[in-house]
Amino acid sequence: MRELAPAKLNLCLLIGPPREDGRHELISLMVSITLCDSLELRDGERDEVHCPGLVGPNLVEEAIAGFRAATGWEGPPQRIEIIKRIPVAAGLGGGSADAAAALRLLARRSGRGGRALLLELAARLGSDVASQLEPGRCVVRGGGERVERIADGPPLGVLVLPSAATLSTAAVYREADRLGSPRSAEALAALDPLRVGAVNDLAAAALSLEPTIAAALERARAAGAREAIVAGSGPTVIGLFDQWQAAARAAAQLAEQGVVAIAARPFPRSAAALC
């Protein structure tokens, strides 16, 4: 069984104060894009995850263990193989996307796990997992566990500029707290994510930790992007275009200059329905 794991793009990311559970209150307008990892699930000798180039514990292993514990499924050991295309520790939610895809695969394999249970499991795994359980466009609130699916937006082209650097999400949030940038709970609650535009409250913290982001933002603007933003907690930079073709031309031109660039678009609902 195979499954795509689309990256996520925060079209806006508004951050409030930290909560008792360590997460921050947030509001985000998110969209899945066509930059995807792929996962394959098959019976194995033990529950395990294989992803070339990545070592150590990961969210997919936690997803398998959590799914078994929550559903009581005692089916055969499962091996999940991941082909990574989403940059790691880049602000694009690659690890969360993989965990969400793993939950979808396990639900199909076992015949267990309704939507409510999968959302509960996803929220336990991480703040981005619940929003990526059903690829598409959504508004996310709370600590990432409150997900409201919304209709597709206008046409969008996405220019992805990966970075050679990586940033820990936890480190970026700590830096945001140090800088004093998170909004008050009252100010956060008053904002409409569909109206604020391309705002990322973690951008200043990401720039503080990785100053090379500034040059990438300028590169995206110079390539013709109408907006250039930091992706999530960074360090990836995103350029937004009104049409995918414009993003594809910009990516091709940058590639001719030796710059790594990827063109993407919103992940189609027709494909999401198969996930």
Spell 15-51 as b/e; 16+ CB within 10 A means b.
bbebeeeeebbbbbbbbbbbbbbebebeeeeeeebeb
For residues 212 and 163, is the Cβ–Cβ distance under 8 A?
A: yes
Is 51:29 a contact under the CB 8 Å cutoff?
no
Collapsed DSSP state (helix, strand, coil) of residue 212: coil
* Cα–Cα distance for residue pair 9/198, rounded to 1 Å: 11
Torsion of CA 105, 109, 111, 116, to 10 degrees: -20
Q: Where are the beta strands (DSSP E) in 19-164?
A: 24-43, 48-50, 78-83, 137-142, 146-149, 157-161
Give the whole-angstrom CA distance, residue 86 versus residue 35: 6
Rounded to whole angstroms, how far apart are CA atoms 69 and 117? 12
Catalytic sites, residue numbers:
8, 128
Three-state secondary-structure class, residue 42? strand
